[in-house]
């Protein structure tokens, strides 16, 4: 993910050294691969629903993602829309105004979920527009970024749309009202401030922004980004820090169960949770919101998962299960 980051730079392909990203951000701690016991801990957390007082301490960090345009030979094709299936239904490839009506009798009936597919497949054609600075509460940052891609040219924007459409289908089947922030129905964006505003205006019970990271080879696993306590200018996350942490913790646990993937070995000190204060999409949110970095597109092993349709369905299922666990608590 390079959702709200420094100006685009080419992806790193060598082992990373300690470095800093942005002003005042913390150095990312590289953690060892998480043992099986941690996965069990996350699953237990997702099932039991810990309160704010008994959450693990997480050292704030920042992922080593990059904003990169697709390789020169990459085709900016539309993301894959998953086929219909008896278990998941068929996500509509239509725009956000034509989302299917939810099942009013499902366990999530009456709940509103906003799904934010990171970036937009058209962003790399509109670099001037997405480089425009917008107010993210405490400072100004780029409207949006291109996102990253695999070495073979599968873009993060295509990945996020595919997983988000699958996620919408799963949530709607449970009765939730689901809104996609963008569904490739606009040429670029929206900007990060508008993405936050869409969730706020929907009075969403939960907002999840779907991403994939662009870090160095050898950096593997998923992580969930939580909002830090930020108060200044138009930003005030005081009311959402606690609920967002619970939402993120439940998603992390269910993601382990559904995908079998381990939490990140390079962000979050092995917890799969990362706290950040520089993301406008979180700083400007007034409703519980998290980002899910499903894996590292620049690592060949993670890329093999992210480009696999069956794994993407599992990723959507894990996120849906986490959201459901949070909303049904």
Q: Work out whether strand 140-142 and strand 133-135 pair parallel, antiparallel, or are unpaired.
A: antiparallel
Q: For residue 322, which of 112, 122, 43 has the smallest C-alpha distance?
A: 43
Count of CB atoms within 10 A of residue 21's CB? 17
pLDDT, position 51: 34
User: In this structure, are residues 173 and 109 in contact, taking their beta carbons and an 8 Å threshold?
Assistant: no
Which CATH number characterizes residue 199's domain? 3.40.630.40
pLDDT at residue 307, as a whole number: 98
Is residue 47 situated within a structural domain? yes
216 assigned to some structural domain: yes
pLDDT of residue 105: 78
What does 107-152 look like in DSSP terms, one character per residue?
TTTT-EEEEEE-S-TTGGG-HHHHTSEEE-SSSEEES-----B-TT
How many structural domains does the chain have?
1
244 in a structural domain:
yes
| Spatial contact of 201 and 282, defined as CB atoms under 8 Å apart | no
| pLDDT at 35 (0 to 100) | 41
Catalytic residue positions, numbered: 293
Tell me, yes or no, whether 303 lies in a domain. Answer: yes
Summary count for the chain: helices (H), strands (E): 8, 10
| Model pLDDT, residue 286 | 98
Tokens 């990253």 correspond to: 148
Range of the domain at 290: 36-53+65-74+108-327
Residue for token digits 């301490």? 57
Distance, CA of 248 to CA of 228 (rounded, Å): 13
Cα gap 111→288, rounded to integer Å: 13
- Whole-Å CA distances, 130 to 119, 133, 164, 186: 10, 8, 21, 13
79 belongs to a structural domain? no
Q: Cα dihedral sign for 71, 162, 146, 219?
A: negative
Model confidence, pTM: 0.74
Distances (CA, A) of 213 to 5, 54, 150, 187: 12, 28, 10, 23
Tokens of 7: 């100006």
In a domain, 49, yes or no: yes
Element (H, E) at 318: helix 309-327
Asked whether residue 43 is domain-assigned, the answer is yes
pLDDT in tens, the chain (329 residues): 643 333 333 333 333 333 333 333 333 333 333 344 444 444 444 444 433 333 333 333 344 444 454 544 444 444 444 433 333 333 433 334 444 455 677 999 999 999 999 999 999 999 999 999 999 988 999 999 999 999 999 999 999 999 999 999 999 999 999 999 999 999 999 999 999 999 999 999 999 999 999 999 999 999 999 999 999 999 999 999 999 999 999 999 999 999 999 999 999 999 999 999 999 999 999 999 999 999 999 999 999 999 999 999 999 999 999 999 999 98
Residue at 162 is within a domain:
yes
């Amino acid at each position: 993910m390079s959702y709200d980051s420094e100006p685009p730079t080419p992806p790193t392909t060598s082992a990373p050294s300690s470095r800093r990203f942005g002003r005042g951000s913390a150095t990312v701690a590289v953690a060892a691969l998480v043992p099986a016991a941690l996965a069990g801990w996350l699953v237990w957390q997702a099932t039991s629903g810990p309160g704010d007082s008994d959450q693990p301490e997480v050292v704030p960090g920042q992922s080593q993602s990059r904003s990169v345009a697709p390789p020169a030979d990459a085709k900016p094709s539309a993301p894959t829309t998953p086929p219909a299936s008896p278990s998941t239904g068929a996500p509509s490839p239509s725009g956000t105004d034509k989302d299917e009506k939810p099942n009013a009798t499902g366990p999530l009936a009456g709940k509103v979920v906003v799904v934010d597919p990171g970036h937009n497949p058209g962003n790399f054609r509109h670099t001037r527009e997405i480089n425009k600075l917008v107010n993210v509460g405490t400072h100004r940052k780029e409207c949006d970024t291109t996102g990253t891609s695999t070495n073979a040219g599968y873009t993060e924007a295509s990945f996020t749309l595919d997983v988000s459409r699958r996620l919408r289908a799963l949530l709607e089947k449970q009765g939730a009202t689901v809104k996609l922030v963008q569904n490739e129905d606009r040429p670029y964006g929206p900007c990060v401030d508008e993405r936050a505003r869409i969730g706020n205006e929907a009075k969403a019970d939960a907002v999840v922004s779907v991403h994939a990271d662009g870090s160095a080879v050898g950096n593997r696993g998923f992580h969930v980004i939580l909002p830090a306590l930020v108060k200044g200018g138009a930003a005030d996350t005081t009311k959402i820090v606690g609920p967002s942490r619970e939402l993120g913790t439940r998603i992390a646990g269910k993601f382990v169960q559904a995908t079998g993937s381990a939490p990140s070995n390079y962000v979050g000190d092995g917890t799969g949770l990362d706290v950040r204060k520089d993301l406008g999409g979180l700083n400007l949110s007034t409703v519980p919101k998290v980002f899910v970095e499903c894996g590292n597109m620049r690592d060949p092993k993670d890329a093999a998962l992210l480009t696999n349709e069956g794994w993407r369905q599992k990723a959507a299922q894990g996120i849906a299960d986490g959201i459901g666990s949070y909303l049904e608590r």
